[in-house]
Amino acid sequence: MRGIIPDVREEMVEAISKAQSTARAILNNVQQVIIGKEDAVELAVIALISNGHLLIEDAPGVGKTMLARSLARSLDCSFKRIQFTPDMLPGDITGITVYSQKTGDFEFRAGPVMAQMVLADEINRATPKVQSALLECMDEGQITVDGVTHNMPSPFHVLATQNPIEYEGTFPLPETQLDRFLLRISLGYPSQDDEIAIVEKQQYAHPIEKITPVATGADLLDLQTAVKDIYVDDTLKKYITSLVAATRDHPTIYLGASPRGSLALFRTAQARALVHGRDYVLPDDVKALAESVLAHRLIIRLTDVSQDKSGRASITEILDTIPVPGTVLRP
């Protein structure tokens, strides 16, 4: 930390150390419920630390909703769950303005999206009109109802789930909506040993009923502030932007990631470094996050394989071709 006043440096180190303890407490809490999926849980916590929204995509029954609920219960924040269905209207999530006979005036009745932690369950079952109602609140931190703007609470995070297997009666998220999600993760099936542990833990009661908040909304805001002080060397900034730029020239990619992808990879790399107890980012942080941050932002050319598989494969190819810089510690 060359050039930093000693008192300021000490204060920064203390804030980062406190943030690391808070992040580790949230991780440990969620892992009491989600067994054997340490990497996915870590990515979910990284999304929160990075002040971004999370899309959990996987087959039914693997714990998508439970992961989102565990994250919400680990934080002492207001929480609402929205079960998306084809017959929903935008007002069902944003709220409506009604006339009050008592006051003689119009009053805004907030919808379930006006919470600090929002679980958007099976988001792809809602119509595009309803999905688009989330765009403003996810990107700008506000909603507009009947011409009046209402600010979202702080912190504000959307944890959305969707089933990529069953497409009947679903409406795929458009690229603009996908781009609002900082990370897209999947859980996958557990190993046999982990599945036995899951069965045993739920024999008498679900473990989510036993976990309690380990951090407050203010703690999360402090986390999101502290992560900005994690050091990122200039060579890593060039590496990040080179990876994103390569998605725009790759032969299998029709439309590559925008600068929002670079910003997302930059911030999540800082968050991963913090979670791992460092105050500086390593190339491994960037490589570990590239797929989850970038794959869902790409539009793949029509091929004989699925878009999801092609996106992930393209990111892997790009990681293999872009030279990895050497490790540079905080000066």
Give the pLDDT score at 2. Answer: 45
pLDDT at 156: 93
pLDDT at 143: 87
User: What are the pLDDT tens digits along the chain (331 aa)?
Assistant: 444 555 556 777 788 888 899 999 999 999 999 999 999 999 999 999 999 999 999 888 888 889 988 998 999 999 999 999 999 998 899 988 887 777 778 888 888 999 999 999 999 898 888 888 888 888 888 888 888 888 999 999 999 998 877 666 678 888 888 899 999 999 989 999 999 999 999 988 899 998 999 999 999 999 999 999 999 999 999 999 999 999 999 888 888 999 999 999 999 999 999 999 999 999 999 999 999 999 999 988 876 444 445 688 889 999 999 999 876 666 6
Distance (Å, whole) CA 246 – CA 10: 39
Instruction: List, for residues 156-211, the tens digit of each pLDDT value.
Output: 999 999 887 766 667 888 888 889 999 999 998 999 999 999 999 998 889 999 89
pTM (2 d.p.): 0.89
- Domains defined along the chain, listed by start: 230-331 (1.10.8.80)
Distance of CA 41 to the CA centre of its chain: 11
Asked if 206 and 70 count as a contact pair (C-beta separation under 8 A), the reply is no
Provide DSSP, 20-67: HHHHHHHHHHHHTTS-S-HHHHHHHHHHHHTT-EEEEE--TTSSHHHH
**Alpha helix ranges (H) inside the chain:** 6-31, 38-49, 64-73, 90-94, 128-140, 175-178, 192-201, 217-226, 234-247, 259-275, 283-294, 307-321
> How far apart are alpha carbons 90 and 304 in whole angstroms?
36
**In sequence order, what DSSP letters do the residues of 202-217 get, joined into one string?**
TTTS-GGGT----EEH
Are 43 and 186 a contacting pair, CB within 8 Å? no
Alpha carbon distance 130, 90 (integer Å): 5
The token pair that represents 88 in the structure block: 């929903």
User: What is each CA distance from 203 to 61, 63, 77, 200, 326, in whole angstroms?
Assistant: 17, 17, 29, 5, 49
